[in-house]
Structure 1
Amino acid sequence: MAPRALRDVLSTDSPIVLGPFGGLSSIDLTAAVSEAGGLGSYGLYGYDGARIAETAAQMRAATTRPFALNLWLPTGDEAAVDDGDLERVRSALAPLFAELGLPLPEAPARFLPPVEEQLDAVLAARPAALSVVYGVPAPDVVAAAREHGIALIGTATTVAEAQALAAGGVDAVVATGAEAAGHRVSFLAPPEDSLVGTFALVPQVVDAVDVPVIAAGGIADRRGVAAAFALGASGVQVGTAFLRTRQSAATAGHRRAITHAHDTSAVLTRAMSGRLARGLPNAAMRLLEQHEILPFPAQNWLTGQFRAAAAQQGRADLVSLWAGQAAALSVHDDAADVFAELAAGLPA
């Protein structure tokens, strides 16, 4: 499809989409991308309904332009962790908590808010778009989004996932390749079996679905944008290059790590969250990989207890350094400069 089709779906001036960072989103960066004419996206992982409403209000105070809110759909593998397993891993990490001056955390009643509460809050907030990862939105969610005038964006790591999303009624599909930063959001097959590269995945998805396709993974400058459009994409979604900027919520140490990354720096690991994700290795990742890794979301909750404190203390060695394989191409400190560079690769 032509780029204009996606701009019409998103009500934006440009088909450039900010990757939603679960835990690393910021109002400043989301608003900056929207103000530049693209679609700013804000990740709501772990947010309850009240916090979603507050975040949407902050976004509307920061920009009058369209923005997207992003949710993780439950996949059915969020099984309750055995108390003994949690205690064993928690105790193994005691020295790390002590190093940060933290007590060992007590397990909460639940690790995540109900997705129904999150969806209700997003629908009430009426963003321009709701983007989802880890699955196909239910028919009632699709119907409610239509009623509220909210575009639906699904995320696929394979052709089969893209087809399932299109059949489920989404308005656009993000084809996210194995190069991308953060979590591998596969939902029809194990992520290890769904590591298709962006520039192999995009044209196959374009051929398989009749909705606009947004290319993601390994795109950081005008060359990646031009290549994505040459392969039939109607838009691009960019994460790491924007994460590198001062407007993001990444710590200074995280941004420095992106600056010093090279082509083979980013690795895949389950250590930080219990789900496969791409980031830069550091002391926390290496330590966690030496111990038992709990299933998601228990592992993500447990590491989150020290990652937050580490970020406040400026300890880049103990946070999640999410980054993609094109991190070395992320050279700008300001979101406006990143956007201008990407826009230079759009078709005339």
Structure 2
Amino acid sequence: MQGDEPVMDIAHLGHVELLTPKPEESLRFFRDVMGMTVSGEKGDSVFLRGWDDYERYSLQLTASHTSGLGHAAFRTRSAQALERRVAALRADGAEVTRTGENFGHGESFRFRDPDGHVFELYWETEWYAAPPDRRPALKNQAERYPARGVNVRRLDHFNCLAVDVRACREFFQRTLGLRCTERIELDSGEEAGMWLTSNNKSYDFAFTKEAHGVPGRFHHVTFALDSREAILQAADTFLEAGVFIETGPHKHAVQQTFFLYVWEPGGNRVEVAHAGARLILAPDWKTITWTEAERKKGQAWGLKTIESFHTHGTPPLPDSKR
């Protein structure tokens, strides 16, 4: 916020880069099981998209010695908005690095949050142009429905782990003008979770408490499907493909997301969720705060949350923390 006027310079989540030590297996998972389309390759990275993502790609899959988040990127609302957010980051003391020669989008600027995760801002982008065999019947749709695997529609959100959740929330609110729609506060006063949005979606990303004191770790990335029934069908698809289903389908209390979590071959957690996410239309939305007692009740409904949901993250923990 700047004074009482909301800052709306960030338009939406653009793409997420996942690192994988098993690049071929991870590619098969996202292409053949998740039903995403490959839209290009560069260096050690393969770029994929959901059928309703309007940009060239929404997932960058990069071969690496380990797993985890490479970076998460947000598109701004204009070139001027990009300049304003870069200036705000630098004024806040963040080290901002200009990058060029980007696949699928123009010049960008990278920085780290207080926990060490890498974020990127950009404006100029390449809109996806479907080749003849992928052109849809409807011109207001980016690509033909794949009818393959889970049939991912679009990138929805992601969740990072953080040692100090509150510090990260305040950083993003202060520098990017993001709004906090919901949060978790423990009896001790420590913040255990926060959900931020740049637009009218209920959230673009979340941060939750890292249980082992290790900074820079990743919890999951989420892709949207069309309906709750599509989530149930996805469970059958994962079963037939031999994909490990960690938990779900259930319904979260926080944000009311209908969800299913799996692990892709590289070890990263992937969620598929109902695309009909809640909308936050009120410009003066009051942050919902969940107490420790309320969160201990678990999900809104469904089975008890599996323990690994609170302990597994990527990259793997160092041996000294296991």
Bigger proportion of residues as strand: 2
| Superposition TM-score, scaled by structure 2 size | 0.32
| Superposition TM-score, scaled by structure 1 size | 0.30
